[in-house]
Amino acid sequence: MPFKNNSIDTVISVLTFCNSEKMNERYEIMKKALPTLEPLSKDPSVFLMLWDNGSSEDVKDYLKGLGFFNFQYFSEENLYDVPVLRAISETAKTLNAKYICHVEDDLELMKPDCLLSLKKFLDENEDVGGVRLLKFDYYNQEKYDKRRSGPGVDRSNFMSLRNIIDNSSLVWSDPIKVDEHTFFKVNWHWYNFPIFAKSEVFEKVVVKGDVEPLQAQEGIMAKNFNDLNLKLSILNGGVFNHLGTFNAKGSARLFVRDNLVNKKELTGQFPLLKDKEISRSVEKFKLALKGFLKNEDS
């Protein structure tokens, strides 16, 4: 998808991984979720990119057929979600983009028309670092409470209804209307389900140095965000619906844990990734991006 560098202010990056033979449920979820992102490509202010973590060849062929991405990168190694988060920040610097959003391949876009409102809200609220985008209803919070179980709970979209860093209760602002959307400010922690963030904030939150992936990395990012003394927000109703499942055929995290990790090297579920190998992975990406941008400008 062609674009003009000088019109871009938002980088949205999608992380993909699937082995179609062993993760058939995941593949079906991907094929349902990813096409919903196409409307984002029609916004000239958006740079929509894909980072694939070594999917099987048929999945790569499917992804390459999604022509609405501005840029696709196929990594030769799977370092989980660690290098891609650094890569998003580096891409924003390269394109001088003001906003960032990290998305995964099991998230269905429900509200493609909300980007302008998200930008307005962040620009008008200096005390907010980002907006949580996962499906959530302020007026029916119990439905999304991770500590509840049983009928009526939306397990695919549930979350901790506390700040996990200081274990404080959530304190909500009054509703804030922007266009047709309603926002609330809240003292929530960072997490790596999609947050539409200010790039300058994202850069400070992303982990530098050695790190374990997934939840361990996310915990450090939550602490980093907490140190900034900023609030998060929600766009009521959410922007993305999580389609993920909770078994190894549908969950990339569980599949990697059970199939790609050498248990003899572990003290926890996942290995400690060294900064040297993370940086090497990001540099490979940056070279590919540089070549792509040079070709686009020529």
| CA-to-CA separations, 5 to 68, 97, 116, 284, 292, in angstroms, rounded | 16, 10, 18, 21, 12
Any idea which fold 5-297 has?
Spore Coat Polysaccharide Biosynthesis Protein SpsA; Chain A (3.90.550)
CB of 96 closer than 8 Å to CB of 7: no
Cross-strand pairs, 231? 128
| CA-to-CA separations, 275 to 79, 203, 281, in angstroms, rounded | 11, 16, 10
Residue 264: the pLDDT is 41
Residue 275: the pLDDT is 96
Residue 180: the pLDDT is 97
Mean pLDDT by 10 residues, the chain (298 residues): 76 96 92 98 97 96 98 94 97 98 97 97 98 98 91 92 96 98 98 97 97 93 98 98 71 57 54 94 98 90
Residue 229: the pLDDT is 97
Strand pairing category for 240-242 and 195-198: unpaired
Task: State phi, psi for 73 to the nearest 5 degrees.
Answer: -125, 130
Residue 263: the pLDDT is 44
CB of 153 closer than 8 Å to CB of 169: no
Residue spans of the domains in the chain: they are 5-297
d(CA 183, CA 191): 18
Dig out the tokens for 11 from the structure: 């980088």
Indicate the pTM of the whole model.
Answer: 0.93
CB of 132 closer than 8 Å to CB of 239: no
Residue 3: the pLDDT is 59
CB of 178 closer than 8 Å to CB of 85: no
